[in-house]
Amino acid sequence: MTQTPAETQPQDDESTIQEGMLLDYITGKPKKENPKELVRQRIARALFHEYGISPDDIKPDYSIATEVDGKTRRKRVSLAVFHPGAEHSDENLGRVVVCQAEPKNGKKGAFKMRDHTQAEKDLQELKNFMTAVPSCQWGLWTNGLEFFFLQREEARFETRFKPIGDWPPSGETEGTKDLVSDARLRKADPDMLRVAFRRCHNFIHGNEGMPKDAAFWQFLYLIFAKMHDERGRGVERRFWASPTEQFDEDGPEAIRARITPLFDEVKREYSSIFRGNEEITLSDRALAFMVSELAKYDFGRTDVDAKGAAYQEIVGANLRGDRGQYFTPRGAIKLMVAMLDPQPEDRIIDPSCGTGGFLVSTISHILESLRARREQDAETESTGEFLSVLDELGSFVKDRLFGADFDQFLVRASQMNVVMASNTLANLFHMNSLEFPNGSLDGVGPAGSKARLGTMDMVLTNPPFGSDIPITDRNILKHFELARIWKPIGGGAFRDTGREQGSVSPEILFIERCVQWLKPGGRMGIVLPDGILGNPGDAYIRAWILRHCYVLASV
């Protein structure tokens, strides 16, 4: 079995690495950190994790004698990939990679992606390397956002370089259109999946000129179509593109002919999310680009946290609202979920779910718990074992995972995040959790039957907070003890005067509402502003919490 670079290299304490340096992923030696080097390290990792190329067959800064303008000079290629187990020599060189620093986004917040023709000047260096070594069949030029793959073709009198959408994994050939729809999908490397999502979003926002929010939803339509296609066990795949199809004259139209009916099925199956009038309005070129970018990945087998991080990167730039929404850092989410340790038997709700960060992290935690109970490992489990645990995870999501949000667009985005993580719809409700079980939004009725107050084992949430979005509606305030005026009576105790405050910050009411949602003995994790824990004027809130709960930790 191929070892990872971490296993083959001596392990140094990270504290010994000087500031401004990093450990080379292939050699394990310190290298100066700079934008270009960061791109090279990301690609080196992807060569191993996504393409199955052994680190022993990769050499950074390999010297090749190239001819330019009639003059021969030796130049170093960023990464050279040799035939498996072969000597590192020109005769055994199969692939080369040229890396450049990642570009910055333009004024519109997106980088305009080029095609092979527009990037010809940059690609000439790659072609020079490939021309100099006859055994080199594959090339890649990348700046971390743009990926230009080339395949060598020998004509009668010249060498040509054909644009392709991707390299084949180690040990595989390019394949044909007849075979590629059944090709093996690959588990995504976390960094490369984030890049793929950014590339797709940049293409439709920067190249198609779509507003950010419209580009975001077009992207999500395709994510849903991709997930739906993967769920069709035993059914011919439709979300695919051959390596050259996006560059063929009729290729983009053929891709659209497969995707359009697939998305129609998505709208019918997920009628609770889609109204039915949604359309994929991308140009043929943009659609072909995105399908080629996403089709190679097996979203089902890709790590839940990797998918969540990639998704959150796109969501965060597009759906930040004006009602105090704050998208919780992933590290804080994972810490809270790990501390509360949700189990498959628990009923769990996030009453202010936003884009689903806590829900997806819970799904990831439950998946690992299910695997641990089966003594099953994600890296070695069979397809049958994987599908079985995925079915069990789906049952948990469908029956025991709940969420709610006042913003219908965030509910929709959260549902898509959950589906990408688990291939299953959760019980997500469009409603005002502070108004529940009253209210007029369309999620109140379903939540009243499925997620009543006092029925949850666990609450995980980061509610909207801030004095600039106070709750002033008496129909809401009258249901909360913490909306009343409390007077100190000494010894840290307070007396409820029975009089209501005129306005209360939402996070204060969410504390009480979350407690109301729990069964006796339930657990709660909530993100709160520091002031509630220390401001003298908020002492009555702390007293209320201590009277109703055991506080296990404040982080």
Task: Give the residue, 59 or 224, on which the prediction is more confident.
Answer: 59
Q: Is residue 554 part of a domain?
A: no
DSSP, collapsed to helix, strand or coil, labels residue 119 as coil
- β-strand pairing of 21-23 with 30-32: antiparallel
483 and 537 part of one domain: yes
Q: Is 261 exposed, middle or buried (0-12, 13-18, 19+ CB in 10 A)?
A: exposed
236 and 362 part of one domain: no
Q: Are 192 and 50 in contact (CB under 8 A)?
A: yes
449 and 523 part of one domain: yes
Distance, in Å, from the CA atom of 275 to the CA atom of 270, rounded to the nearest integer, reads 9
Tens of pLDDT, residue by residue over 30-86, are 999 999 999 999 999 999 998 999 999 999 999 999 987 788 899 999 999 999 999
- How does DSSP classify residue 207? I
Q: How confident is the model at residue 400 (pLDDT cuts 50, 70, 90)?
A: very high
What is the number of H-type helices and E-type strands within the chain? 18, 15
Distance, in Å, from the CA atom of 104 to the CA atom of 320, rounded to the nearest integer, reads 22
Q: Which helix (H) or strand (E) holds 284?
A: helix 284-294
Q: Is residue 156 part of a domain?
A: yes
Q: Is residue 186 part of a domain?
A: no
Q: Find the CATH number of the domain harbouring 386.
A: 3.40.50.150
Task: Give the residue, 359 or 202, on which the prediction is more confident.
Answer: 359
Take residue 471 and report the two structure tokens written for it: 């709750």
Domain that holds residue 162: 5-174
- How does DSSP classify residue 322? S
Sorted by sequence, the CB contacts under 8 Å of residue 278 that are 6+ apart come out as 217, 221, 263, 267
Beta bridge partners of 162: 151
166 and 248 part of one domain: no
Tens of pLDDT, residue by residue over 155-184, are 888 889 999 999 888 876 555 444 444 456
Tens of pLDDT, residue by residue over 441-492, are 999 999 999 999 999 999 999 998 876 789 999 999 999 999 999 999 988 8
Distance, in Å, from the CA atom of 31 to the CA atom of 297, rounded to the nearest integer, reads 31
Q: Which residue has the tokens 């005026």?
A: 485
Which residue type, as a one-letter code, is found at position 102? E
Q: Find the CATH number of the domain harbouring 101.
A: 3.90.1570
- How does DSSP classify residue 471? B
> In this predicted structure, what is the pLDDT of residue 176?
46
Q: How confident is the model at residue 108 (pLDDT cuts 50, 70, 90)?
A: low
236, 271, 294 — which closes off a domain?
294
496 and 390 part of one domain: yes
207 and 328 part of one domain: no
Task: Give the residue, 458 or 28, on which the prediction is more confident.
Answer: 458
Q: Are 227 and 423 in contact (CB under 8 A)?
A: yes
DSSP, collapsed to helix, strand or coil, labels residue 537 as helix
Domain count, the chain: 3
